[in-house]
Structure 1
């Protein structure tokens, strides 16, 4: 399938994003704490075109970070007071990977995803039409890398794995690519996109 046809399928899939997801979906025995206050956050899912093939940009977080060090993630973060969720996603992408805001063509959103860390994350899928050289923010991002979109759109590439977390067995999606272990909330968002495009 060419990049143009794949992009058309993604745009069609985003028109009906579906129900919200959470880190608890694969862990029905886990009960979130009562009275928790969720904070709004947003991430950008940047797509780029290389030789008529679509790629997706991801980041590897700095190992020096207090939260989620070394994990694979989309550029993004919490919404600041007075800004929209889309503005938050674009601002964070500019800060973390040096992506100029005016180069992102927003295609739509994936369902919100609730994390165990108390965020409701809205993923914005965007096409980057102009040539772009990532500039990782040294304090937060160790690396910016590209994954073939075909890899993360193939449901068969996803697995459910688990590990002990706070005394309980926690299950989550994974979609490894080469040396990169993509898992947790990021993999769940990608699984939703893969399922939407496949239908």
Structure 2
């Protein structure tokens, strides 16, 4: 390749490591946790596993709603068809955090000392998991709903279909409780 090659896409260019060079620091129950600056692809494997089958669950829920808005009844019916799902989902969430926190195990499968062990020993609550997941999801720029939607669920075959707005509304969405934006000074007033 010549030294004057211009890349249309340069995946070696500085990424989130520029704003979080030492990882994403999170404080939880007095502990400091460090998450990778970029979301590792293998961190999603537990959530997207065939055994958990969240895609199948969402497909069943959407199919049972016949195009109408999804209600509690559809979700409950789909969940009752999968009684082990809540337990499997919790295990997948923990496994995802084990990947994110670089958990290490000995030969017998016992968790070794490290930040993941500290995290589990702090006994995170369900709201802790929700706030942590929402905050990290926002920082990583991952929209979980898009991961689980079917490829054709938001597509239109109509040639006249146009986006409703050329811009996104990300800046107008509500903040996640406990979430600290990348640049806290950007929202400070000059009073």
TM-score by length of 2: 0.25
Which protein has the larger Cα radius of gyration, Structure 1 or Structure 2? 2
Relative contact order higher in (CA < 8 Å, ≥ 6 apart): 1
Question: Greater helix share, 1 or 2?
Answer: 2
Question: Greater strand share, 1 or 2?
Answer: 1
